[in-house]
């Protein structure tokens, strides 16, 4: 009597292996697409957080503006010249702020140096800032060159050392189409307020500071850097008091 044994044929094995391979391949592609989408979402989230964080830092730095009078001394033995410490140009800016990147509002006042520089591989521009601890009028005077004729503005004003950008500089914003500073003040001889691309801080401080930025990325789904405008809360012009003291 013939006995039959249960089993599978070679064709059935090949079909099963092929189906399993196709299923594994589909799962692998699904995982790859999912991980790629997750990575893309994480990068977008980090970029948005970076933009929001940079904007908040700029607002805090501008809100912490301190009306400091620097003591410029060309030599250690010189008595020194008192000048208002503020540099305002279209692509660079210097002032003292109570806000510190490392310790926020709890840290020591910082001499902030903002500079717009070319981006990586000369694509767009980026905004960087240097922090230097402010310890008094002489620490601010180290950045000054005294009074002189500004060749770009053609007026007598305070001259400053060039801002040095290096590894210690903190990048606030990158891949920008442009970044420029402007300053709100009164038109000389009038009571009209006007935004100016440069500031001459001989007798007063600006009424407000604006930092305008635009991103190189034209993707409508990404968060764009916004223009930051902050009033300068100074209720008196201390340089007048110092000028009166020196004249007496």
Give the pLDDT confidence of 37-90 residue by residue, as tens digits: 777 767 666 666 666 777 888 889 998 999 888 888 777 676 778 888 899 999
Q: Domain residues of the chain, as ranges?
A: 34-247
Cβ(130)–Cβ(180) under 8 Å?
Answer: no
Taking the C-alpha atoms of residue 36 and residue 108, their distance in angstroms, rounded to an integer, is 43
Measured on CA atoms in the order 120, 121, 124, 130, is the torsion positive or negative? positive
Residue 133 is predicted with a pLDDT of: 92
* pLDDT confidence bin for 244, thresholds 50/70/90: very low
Residue 243 is predicted with a pLDDT of: 46
Q: Give the mean pLDDT of the chain.
A: 81
Decide: residue 22, CB within 10 A, 0-12 exposed, 13-18 middle, 19+ buried: exposed
Taking the C-alpha atoms of residue 59 and residue 42, their distance in angstroms, rounded to an integer, is 26
pLDDT in tens, 138-158: 899 899 888 888 887 777 888
Taking the C-alpha atoms of residue 197 and residue 123, their distance in angstroms, rounded to an integer, is 24
Cβ(176)–Cβ(119) under 8 Å?
Answer: yes
- CA 41 and chain centroid, separation: 24
What's this model's pTM, rounded to 2 decimal places?
A: 0.76
Residue 245 is predicted with a pLDDT of: 47
pLDDT in tens, 1-40: 555 566 667 787 788 888 888 888 888 888 888 887 777 7
Residue 48 is predicted with a pLDDT of: 60
- Please give the backbone phi and psi of residue 14, each rounded to the nearest 5 degrees, phi first: -65, -40
pLDDT in tens, 165-179: 998 899 888 888 899
Of 98, 101, 89, nearest to 130 by C-alpha is 101
Residue 116 is predicted with a pLDDT of: 95
* Eight-class DSSP state of 122: G
């Amino acid at each position: 009597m013939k006995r039959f044994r249960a089993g599978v044929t070679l064709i059935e094995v090949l079909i099963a292996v092929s189906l399993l391979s196709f299923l594994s391949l589909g799962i692998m592609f699904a995982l790859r697409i999912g991980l790629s989408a997750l990575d893309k979402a994480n990068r977008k989230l980090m970029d948005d957080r970076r933009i929001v964080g940079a904007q908040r830092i700029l607002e805090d730095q501008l809100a912490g503006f301190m009306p400091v009078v620097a003591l410029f001394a060309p030599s250690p033995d010189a008595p020194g010249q008192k000048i208002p410490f503020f540099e305002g140009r279209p692509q660079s800016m210097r002032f003292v702020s109570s806000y510190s990147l490392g310790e926020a509002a709890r840290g020591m006042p910082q001499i902030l140096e903002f500079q717009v520089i070319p981006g990586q591989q000369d694509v767009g521009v980026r905004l960087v800032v240097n922090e230097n601890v402010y310890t008094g009028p002489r620490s601010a005077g180290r950045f000054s060159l005294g009074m002189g004729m500004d060749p770009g503005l053609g007026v007598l004003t305070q001259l400053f050392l060039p801002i040095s950008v290096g590894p210690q500089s903190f990048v606030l914003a990158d891949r920008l189409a442009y970044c420029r500073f402007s300053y709100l003040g009164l038109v000389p001889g009038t009571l009209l307020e006007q935004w100016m691309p440069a500031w001459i801080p001989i007798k007063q401080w600006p009424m407000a500071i604006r930092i305008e930025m635009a991103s190189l990325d034209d993707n409508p789904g990404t968060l764009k850097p916004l223009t930051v405008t902050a009033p300068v809360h100074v209720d008196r012009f201390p340089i007048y008091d110092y000028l009166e003291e020196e004249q007496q």
